[in-house]
Structure 1
Amino acid sequence: MTDLHEAPSIRADGDSWDITESVGATALGVAAARAVETAREDALIRDDYAYLLVASAGPQWAQMASSDPAWIANDDEFRALHEMSRDYQAVRTHYFDDYFLAAMRAGIRQVVILAAGLDSRAYRLDWPAGTTVFEIDQPKVLEYKTSTLDAHGAQPRAHRIPVAVDLRDDWPAALADAGFDASQPTAWLAEGLLPYLPPDAQDRLFDLVTAHSAAGSRIAVESFSMDLSEQAEEHRIARRERTARMRKRSGIDIDVDTLTYADGNRADAGSWLADHGWRVDAVPSEVDMTRLGRPAPDYEAEEIASSVLLNAELAEETR
């Protein structure tokens, strides 16, 4: 039996990246899935900026985001993996789009997207007048997104403020300097983020979010179980074999396992929030996928089952 440490982490304190490197490349992969989904006639979401943001990184990425499956037509296994990734990202995006629309209906006009990556919601959602969207991420990632969209004349539909700071640094200070008002209710988002933080950094992130949230604030989170059991390890090995084929076929060298922090002592996000004054509503990703007509395939069911989509509201300030 191979153990989790066969895929040693390449992360280090203070590491940084450009859009095609390390964690930055995962943002391209997610956006590629959104681009492929957008091209479907029965698309669950629309992201008309996704293909542009991915294709601008190079021809191999443009191929990954293409709506033409001809490049994988003769590889059934890779095509299935590609489709599963598209379906999962479509359902995840749909969930968090709905979360923001509900927050706006509740009167929230301040948004913070943590580790925003290539999130284009500031450009594609119908934000009410007076909405400010703060996007926090690595400087080079935000620079790539902003320059790419600016070069094509894209205009945000809200007051978009990029905040170039590492979440391991003093991001609340940088956010405040950018105009964030902690006295106003905020809609926070942590999508595709938690596995890339060590367990203690995850706790610190939630501590800081809570400390800077006024009553009525909301947060949405994609949470993962970091199960280190033998059964979980078997599924992890199978996934690594599939993604190795994906890297070879696509020519894009992304190995997510070397970028994340697998630790069985990681706090459950929903439980942590509930214990700190947030009212939590959660749904397993596999349940939402089935509800929206995109059920997870059997070979990926266990992996999907470790993912939970949740949103929560802070009833009273805890400061």
Structure 2
Amino acid sequence: MTSDRHDGDTWDLAWSVGATATMDAAGRAIATRADRSLIDDPFAEPLVRAVGVDLLTRLATGEVTPGDLGLAEQVWIDGAQVRTKFYDEFFLDATGAGITQVVILAAGLDSRAYRLPWPPGTVVYEVDQPPVIAFKTRTLAELGAAPTADRRVAAVDLRDEWPTALRTAGFDPARQSAWSAEGLLGYLPPEAQDRLLDTITELSAPGSRVATESRPNPRPGEEGKTKDSLDRSSESWRAHGFDTDMARLRYFGERNEAAPYLTDLGWALTGTSIRDLFAANNLPSLEDDGLRMGDVRYVSGVLGKTAK
């Protein structure tokens, strides 16, 4: 199975893979309105409005609900809740333990630098393409929002020399850091995923922390089911005016599962499946729709004294 993704392809926050960041933000806006005890992202809605995708704006503002449109996307909203909560808690635990460098890879419309109660002295580095960083910075400034940490940006595509841009922004590999690769790995080719995890490890001092998702490799014949499920979801979105083709945004094929790969690099990981996180937060159980979403594990861990 092939993907239309290719080296050097481009996108923005309104289309292609970039629109997934706006979809995620719309999910956070809906989830915030539904239950602030799980997540509270007051910037998600205005950021989605500023991007200007009509359907996502109407969903984010509450003008319509997924149910109004007949979209079977409640799992999207519930997924936004548990994923946001997982990464929020990861960063607050890490910085509460004394780590002062935070790196958010493919930051997109993530507003953690503006909304989390960071300890004094925390530096939050956001890495993403220059237009994405500029858009978010400008939009939040126009809202009068101010970062709650020392926010620094490395405006660079992750396919380019991003470690240099990160160091130029002030990142110090000799100090402990906390990294997130949230909702990112499936949009990278397999070899690029390995290279990213290798680079994170190389830039991390012992005691650093990492969090990401670890997706199981497909069983024989399963990729076709996954594509069919993604196609059905895309058709549902297109029927309501949002043109997307989710199957073409991802890279398919065998890849190293993130959790064992990181373990081999010297990270001591713990993790839990999305299915278990749904249950822990009293959300409806996940049904198998061909995506095996419930089997995806959110993992986090600490780098040992000697990485392999």
Q: TM-score range by the shorter chain?
A: over 0.9
Counterpart position of 1:285 = 274
Deviation at 1:263, TM superposition (A): 1.4
Query: What RMSD, in angstroms, separates the aligned Cα atoms of the two structures?
Result: 1.8
Between the aligned partners of 2:205 and 2:284, the Cα distance in structure 1 is 37
Select the residue among 1, 7, 18 that pairs with 1:13. 7
Counterpart position of 2:151 = 160
Between the aligned partners of 1:184 and 1:208, the Cα distance in structure 2 is 15
What TM-score, normalized by structure 2, do the two folds share?
A: 0.94
The amino acid that maps onto 1:260 is: R
Select the residue among 90, 98, 108 that pairs with 2:89. 98
The 5-angstrom pairing of residues 188-207 of structure 1 reads 188-207=179-198
Select the residue among 22, 29, 35 that pairs with 1:35. 29
Between the aligned partners of 1:68 and 1:290, the Cα distance in structure 2 is 29
Contact kept, 8 Å, 1:115 with 1:136, in 2: the verdict is: yes
Contact kept, 8 Å, 1:109 with 1:131, in 2: the verdict is: yes
1:114 equivalenced with 2:109 (yes/no):
no
Between the aligned partners of 1:52 and 1:244, the Cα distance in structure 2 is 26
Aligned in 2, Cα 1:128/1:263: closer, same or farther, shift over 3 Å? Answer: same
Counterpart position of 1:304 = 293
Between the aligned partners of 2:217 and 2:238, the Cα distance in structure 1 is 23
Counterpart position of 1:66 = 61
Counterpart position of 1:318 = 307
The amino acid that maps onto 2:56 is: W
Alignment gaps of 5+ in structure 2: none
Counterpart position of 1:23 = 17
Deviation at 1:105, TM superposition (A): 1.5
Deviation at 1:224, TM superposition (A): 1.9
Q: Give percent identity, aligned residues only.
A: 41
Between the aligned partners of 2:306 and 2:159, the Cα distance in structure 1 is 24
Contact kept, 8 Å, 1:296 with 1:304, in 2: the verdict is: no
Select the residue among 219, 231, 234 that pairs with 1:240. 231
1:53 equivalenced with 2:47 (yes/no):
yes
Contact kept, 8 Å, 2:48 with 2:60, in 1: the verdict is: yes
Counterpart position of 1:217 = 208
Between the aligned partners of 1:239 and 1:11, the Cα distance in structure 2 is 15
Q: Which moved more, 1:176-185 or 1:18-27?
A: 18-27
SS in structure 1 at match of 2:213: strand
Equivalenced residue count is 307
Between the aligned partners of 1:112 and 1:57, the Cα distance in structure 2 is 24
Contact kept, 8 Å, 1:214 with 1:317, in 2: the verdict is: no
Deviation at 1:222, TM superposition (A): 1.6
Contact kept, 8 Å, 1:138 with 1:165, in 2: the verdict is: yes
Between the aligned partners of 1:144 and 1:74, the Cα distance in structure 2 is 29
SS in structure 2 at match of 1:312: strand
Deviation at 1:136, TM superposition (A): 0.4
1:141 equivalenced with 2:132 (yes/no):
yes
Contact kept, 8 Å, 1:36 with 1:86, in 2: the verdict is: yes
Contact kept, 8 Å, 1:136 with 1:164, in 2: the verdict is: yes
The amino acid that maps onto 1:304 is: M
Deviation at 1:43, TM superposition (A): 4.5
Between the aligned partners of 1:232 and 1:260, the Cα distance in structure 2 is 11
Q: Which moved more, 1:57-66 or 1:273-282?
A: 57-66
SS in structure 2 at match of 1:204: helix
Deviation at 1:19, TM superposition (A): 1.5
Q: Which moved more, 1:237-246 or 1:85-94?
A: 237-246
Contact kept, 8 Å, 1:17 with 1:138, in 2: the verdict is: no
Contact kept, 8 Å, 2:59 with 2:65, in 1: the verdict is: no
What TM-score, normalized by structure 1, do the two folds share?
A: 0.91
SS in structure 1 at match of 2:126: strand
Contact kept, 8 Å, 1:32 with 1:50, in 2: the verdict is: yes
The amino acid that maps onto 2:110 is: D
Deviation at 1:232, TM superposition (A): 4.8
4+ residue stretches of structure 1 with deviation over 3 A? 68-72, 299-302
Alignment gaps of 5+ in structure 1: none
The amino acid that maps onto 2:248 is: T
Between the aligned partners of 1:211 and 1:51, the Cα distance in structure 2 is 36
